[in-house]
């Protein structure tokens, strides 16, 4: 029997040395970079430059996300052009098309969020005078004034609130145009000018006690226009916006101190009130503190008010105005509103 013919294996002699020069290379080595190819087209490099610039934009830059998405979108578009016209690579074109759509959608959304917010002409002065100095964003102010409030008007002589008749639970308003007069039992207390709350003392003093009535009469001394919020819906909205809630607390407290300050100067007009608003309201705070300290030093609140008013011009008329304001709002309640 020929064992050599039956065996499928070949036997290599012990002294045999294989010829490596004439042997074929293993297919796994075909991907080795023996010869570098030529540099890609300029479009390819510009696309990568866009990616690199977009990634090194500092995050402290205000528009860094918009710039990043914009450069990524441009880079993907250039990659599609390079893969289609110069590389003829279908897979590269498909993947970059997907990336292009994703980045383009992000870019459009970011630009839309940065769009200028258009505030109504009637509300622009209110925003610039009261809310913009406190860094309230225009979009937040638009939400505040665009959902649950409306603009109402009053003709000369019409009443906004009647003493002992109108409920204080329904609304909170800011005067936009005109002038209103506040009186108690027929005695003049003070005026209300544009960009001032109409019923801030009532709003603050009745947050815990509902069902009360206005203790003063508020009448339009001119053709008036005012912004009116539903009190209940405004309260719910402010609870969901802590920043705006603190802003309202500050504005209402400042408005109350300005109303107290105006009692010391009944001739205070709108121009003078704007000047006070631009200041730090230190005079208003000192006036209220002096009134509180003078009242605390005496057992009779009337004597305390008279001591506070001593030394001012027209002391008798001011004393009457101060006493009427005390009777209308309650000095102790206002002190709690301003300082708590």
Angle formed at CA 107 by CA 53 and CA 131, multiple of 5 degrees: 110
CATH class of the structural domain 121-268: mainly beta
Give the model's confidence band at 9: pLDDT under 50 very low, under 70 low, under 90 confident, else very high: very low
Give the model's confidence band at 202: pLDDT under 50 very low, under 70 low, under 90 confident, else very high: confident
Give the model's confidence band at 160: pLDDT under 50 very low, under 70 low, under 90 confident, else very high: very high
Under DSSP, the state recorded for 167 is B
- What are the residue boundaries of the structural domains of the chain, listed by start? 42-114, 121-268
Q: Is 42 exposed, middle or buried (0-12, 13-18, 19+ CB in 10 A)?
A: exposed
What is d(CA 31, CA 252) in angstroms, rounded to the nearest whole number?
A: 76
179 three-class SS: coil
Structure confidence by residue, pLDDT tens digits, 236-277: 899 999 999 999 999 999 999 888 887 766 555 555 555 545
| Pairing state between β 149-154 and 217-220 | unpaired
Q: Write out the H or E segment, with its range, that includes residue 240.
A: helix 231-240
pLDDT > 80? residue 331: no
What is the separation of C-alpha 335 from the centre of its chain, rounded to a whole number of angstroms?
30
Structure confidence by residue, pLDDT tens digits, 286-319: 443 443 344 334 444 444 444 444 444 344 444 4
- Return the pLDDT at 232: 86
Rounded average pLDDT over 79-83: 93
Q: pTM of whole model > 0.75?
A: no
Averaged pLDDT of the chain = 76
Other Cβ atoms within 10 Å of 316 Cβ, number: 8
Phi, psi for residue 319 in degrees, rounded to 5:
-65, -40
Return the closest-CA partner of residue 214 out of 161, 175, 170, 160. Answer: 161
């Amino acid at each position: 029997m020929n064992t050599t013919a039956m065996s499928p294996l070949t036997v290599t002699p012990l002294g045999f040395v294989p010829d490596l020069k004439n042997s074929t290379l293993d297919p796994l080595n075909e991907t080795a970079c023996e010869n570098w190819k030529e540099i890609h087209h300029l479009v390819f490099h510009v696309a990568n430059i866009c990616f690199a610039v977009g990634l090194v934009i500092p995050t402290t830059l205000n528009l860094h996300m918009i710039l990043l998405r914009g450069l990524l979108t441009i880079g993907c578009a250039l990659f599609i052009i390079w893969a289609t016209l110069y590389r003829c690579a279908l897979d590269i074109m498909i993947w970059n098309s997907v990336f292009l759509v994703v980045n383009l959608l992000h870019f459009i959304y970011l630009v839309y969020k940065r769009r200028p917010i258009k505030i109504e002409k009637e509300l622009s002065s209110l925003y610039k005078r009261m809310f913009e100095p406190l860094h309230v964003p225009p979009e937040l102010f638009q939400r505040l004034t665009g959902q649950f409030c409306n603009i109402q008007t009053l003709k000369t002589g019409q009443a906004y609130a009647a003493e002992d008749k109108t409920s204080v639970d329904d609304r909170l308003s800011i005067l936009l145009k005109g002038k209103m007069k506040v009186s108690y039992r027929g005695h003049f207390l003070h005026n209300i000018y544009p960009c001032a709350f109409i019923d801030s003392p009532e709003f603050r003093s009745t947050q815990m006690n509902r069902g009360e009535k206005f203790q003063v009469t508020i009448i339009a001394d001119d053709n008036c226009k005012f912004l009116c919020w539903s009190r209940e819906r405004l309260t719910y909205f402010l609870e969901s916006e802590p920043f705006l809630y603190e802003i309202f607390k500050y504005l209402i407290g400042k408005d109350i101190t300005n109303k107290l300050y105006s009692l010391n100067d009944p001739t205070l007009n709108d121009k003078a009130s704007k000047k006070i608003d631009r200041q730090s309201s230190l005079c208003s705070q000192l006036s209220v503190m002096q009134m509180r300290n003078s009242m605390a030093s005496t057992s009779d609140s009337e004597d305390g008010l008279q001591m506070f008013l001593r030394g001012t011009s027209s002391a008798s008329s001011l004393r009457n105005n101060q006493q009427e304001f005390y009777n209308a709002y309650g000095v102790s309640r206002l002190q709690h509103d301003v300082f708590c």
